[in-house]
Amino acid sequence: MKIIITGTTGYVGEGVMLSCLDNPEVEKVLSVSRRPCGHVHPKLEEYIVPDFMKLEAGDPKLQGYDAVFFIAGISSVGLKEEQYVGISHDIPLHFADVVGPKENMTFVYLSGAGNYKNTKQMWVRIKKSTEDALVAMPFKGAYNFRPAIMWRYKGQKRIQKMQYAFWAMYPFFKLIGMWNRMSEVADAMIAVSKKGYHKAAIECRDIARLKYIPAADAAW
């Protein structure tokens, strides 16, 4: 399969990209980012886009892929609501508008773990609005991934200091079901893209389950 991945200059996007490049089911990866991802691989192509909102429908570089893994994003900490809406709502929806053809494509959006019933939280309200809008689009399938703490993939370069603190608490996060390996996240994205899944919101435990379900059975 051929996959578009955004956010490859960040921790999660880089890890998912590297895992996909190592996966024999993946024929090609197109990294779409504002700057080079810093990796070279025979399966990897890059499309440098300084402003995602200037992408236009029918862009030939974004056509003919089987799936989009939209991982580009940012924390809401320190941002005003209108700023966060632009980054976490407007950009992913615009990107979803310009890729295609949608009836042959799966769109996977990296959201985040949290209490999605608590709409008083600004980031939850905006992420949920983005999730709902993507699911309503005419893709073959749209899935919203909600991972929490993720263990790095081999060869990753973009690791923030706070990740080490999270990894030190591995036993706790594993105990409460809030832990996944980066390879599990990538494999689960590939699984839902190939065969679907019975729900659109993919939580940490779903990610772990999809890791061990053959692609042919992913629609259980």
The CA distance from 104 to 116, in Å, is: 29
Rounded Cα–Cα distance for residues 138 and 125 (Å): 23
- Tokens 């309200």 sit on residue: 125
Give the pLDDT of residue 149: 84
Q: Which of 73, 67, 70 is nearest to 100 (CA)?
A: 67
Collapsing DSSP states into helix, strand and coil, what is residue 154? Answer: coil
Q: Where in the chain are the domains?
A: 2-217
- Indicate whether 209 pLDDT > 80: yes
pLDDT score for 55: 97
Architecture (CATH level 2) of domain 2-217: 3-Layer(aba) Sandwich (3.40)
Count other Cβ atoms within 10 Å, centred on residue 190. 26
Distance from C-alpha of 203 to C-alpha of 181, rounded to nearest angstrom: 13
Measured distance CA(110)–CA(185) in Å, rounded: 10
pLDDT at position 122, please?
A: 81
Q: What are phi and psi of 216, to 5 degrees?
A: -65, -20
Q: Which two tokens stand for residue 108?
A: 């996977």
Section 88-109 average pLDDT: 94
Q: Which of 1, 105, 98, 8 is nearest to 56 (CA)?
A: 98
Tell whether the model's pLDDT for residue 216 goes beyond 70.
no
pTM of this prediction exceeds 0.85: yes
What does pLDDT average to over the chain?
87
Question: How far is 139 from 76, CA to CA, in rounded Å?
Answer: 28
Question: For residue 157, what pLDDT is reported?
Answer: 85
Higher pLDDT, 101 or 39: 39
- pLDDT tens profile 148-178: 888 888 988 877 666 666 667 666 666 666 6
Higher pLDDT, 11 or 113: 11
pLDDT of residue 176: 65
Neighbours of 66 (CB within 10 A): 18
Among candidate residues 137, 149, 107, 190, the one with its CA nearest the CA of residue 12 = 149
Residue 220 has what pLDDT?
32
Tell me, rounded to whole angstroms, the distance of Cα 28 from its chain centroid.
16
92 pLDDT band (50/70/90 cuts)?
Answer: very high
Q: Quick check: 199 pLDDT over 90?
A: yes
Tokens of 154: 């081999």
Higher pLDDT, 27 or 219: 27
Q: What is the tens place of the pLDDT at every residue in 14-66? A: 999 999 999 999 999 999 999 999 999 999 999 999 999 999 998 999 999 99
DSSP state of 176: T
Residue that wins the pLDDT comparison between 142 and 209:
142
Pairing mode of beta strands 67-70, 149-151: unpaired
What are the two backbone dihedrals, phi and then psi, of residue 141, each rounded to the nearest 5 degrees? -165, 150
Kindly tell me if the per-residue pLDDT of 120 is higher than 90. no
User: Between the CA atoms of 196, 202, 206 and 211, what dihedral angle is there, to the nearest 10 degrees?
Assistant: 60
pLDDT over threshold 80, residue 89: yes
- Of 143-147, 172-176, 202-206, least confident by mean pLDDT is 172-176
Cα 220 → chain centroid: 21
